[in-house]
Amino acid sequence: MSETTTRPLTFGLDTFGDTTVGLDGTPLTHAQVLRNVIAEGVRADQVGVDHFSVGEHHRPDFTISAPDTVLAGLATVTENITLGTAVVVLSSDDPVRVFEHFSTIDALSNGRAEITLGRGSFTESFPLFGFQLQDYEKLFEEKLDLFVKLLPQKPVTWSGTTRPPLTDQRVYPEMERTLPTWVAVGGSPNSVVRTASHGLGLRLAIIGGPAERFAPYVNLFHQASEQLGKGALPVAVHSPGHIADTDAEAIDQLRDAWIMNRNKIGSERGWGPSGEAEYQAEIQGGSLYVGSPETVAQKIARTIDLLGLDRFDLKYSTGTVPHEHLMHSIELYGTEVIPRVREILGR
């Protein structure tokens, strides 16, 4: 078991703005889904969730292509919740513009912005914005290096091969604090060590299989952080799930959407077809947090304990699950699951 930190334990909700259907099965427009995401963020704020994060994609099954714009909207209608990303695809964006967008969100939200940077598990943004996939690693490494240099908000001098150099350049608007920054990692040791070397938080995307298989990455991150003199850095996990009043109800509400989503992505990546057996296996022993509040709380508590986490984020939207079910899941997460996990862990 990984050592538990003394930092406060916090909880988040994540969404990619999955294209959903109404209760009658009618597909919703992208515009309506985006409006629903705002309502979901407001509900998360109302029920005491600590963080709300939206992820960037450029494909028809996800509606959020501009997470900063969504978060700016949420900044004006929420009061307490942290507003962040899951993730911004930094490789196909400009670090200076990204920093300016999030310093603006931080101002609008009175200091509630954060950012999670990633390379992107989907690659549609690369040809869309004129980047070459063969530069996948170099793009992220150079742009992450520049973004980290912007965080202290001092004049920056930087040069690389992926964008024009900067000489004693400041960026605006100036922030009232340092922007909390994480890096999303899917399980690469090199990515874990790189995150530690920059002194950033580690956010593990665990979307399949047992969570305990990621314990070596958490241990590597802590070892690297200590050896590099970066101190104790936070670790978070992002995993999918769905909550309803009973186990059976939650399983039934998610089943078709999960299998359809899994097979759509699987067909693009060369995976074999999925079905009921894999769905049930992920619920029972994998990283799919589905069930009643008690069932989900017990499973989240076990993951936090196993990995010594500072934060757990539930990706509450998967495929076409209707907005009404998502709203109830959010309410149960904030009012029942989070308090129960704290009770179980004594944190």
pLDDT tens-place string over residues 88-99:
999 999 999 999
Domain presence at residue 234: yes
What burial letters (b/e) apply to 209-241, b meaning 16+ CB within 10 Å?
A: eebeebeebbeebbebbeeeebeebbbbbbbbb
* 117-133 b/e (C-beta count within 10 Å ≥ 16 → b): bbbbebbebbeeeebee
pLDDT at 5: 53
4 falls within a domain: no
Residue 116 covered by a domain: yes
**At 255, which CATH number?**
3.20.20.30
pLDDT for position 121: 79
pLDDT tens, N- to C-terminus, the chain (347 residues): 444 457 899 999 999 999 999 999 999 999 999 999 999 999 999 999 999 999 999 999 999 999 999 999 999 999 999 999 999 999 999 999 999 999 999 999 999 999 999 987 788 999 999 999 899 999 999 999 999 999 999 999 999 999 999 999 999 999 999 999 999 998 789 999 999 999 999 999 999 999 999 999 999 999 999 999 999 999 999 999 999 999 999 999 999 999 999 999 888 888 889 999 999 999 999 999 999 999 999 999 999 999 999 999 999 999 999 999 999 999 999 999 999 999 999 98
Domain assignment of residue 304, given as a range: 10-345
121 belongs to a structural domain: yes
Q: What's the Cα-to-Cα distance from 214 to each of 70, 77, 207, 319, rounded to whole Å?
A: 31, 36, 11, 25
Q: Does any domain span residue 45?
A: yes
**Separation CA 69–CA 232 (nearest Å):** 32
- 107 within domain boundaries: yes
pLDDT at 216: 97
Phi and psi based region of residue 120 (left: phi greater than 0; alpha: psi -120 to 50; beta: remaining): left
Does residue 5 lie in a domain region? no
Q: What is the pLDDT of residues 111-135, one digit of tens each?
A: 999 999 998 778 899 999 999 989 9
Report how many domains make up the chain.
1
Tell me if the pTM is above 0.75: yes
Q: What is the CA radius of gyration of the chain?
A: 19
- d(C-alpha 239, C-alpha 120), whole Å: 16
Name the H helices within the chain. Answer: 30-46, 67-75, 95-108, 125-128, 136-150, 189-197, 215-227, 247-269, 276-285, 293-307, 323-332, 338-345
| 140 lies in some domain | yes
pLDDT the model gives residue 3 = 47
User: Distance between CA atoms of 155 and 83, rounded to whole angstroms?
Assistant: 27
What's the half-sphere exposure (Cβ side, CA atoms, 13 Å) at 206?
Answer: 32
End-to-end CA distance of the chain: 17
Burial of 136 (0-12, 13-18, 19+ CB in 10 A): middle
Backbone angles phi, psi at 117, to 5 degrees: -100, 145
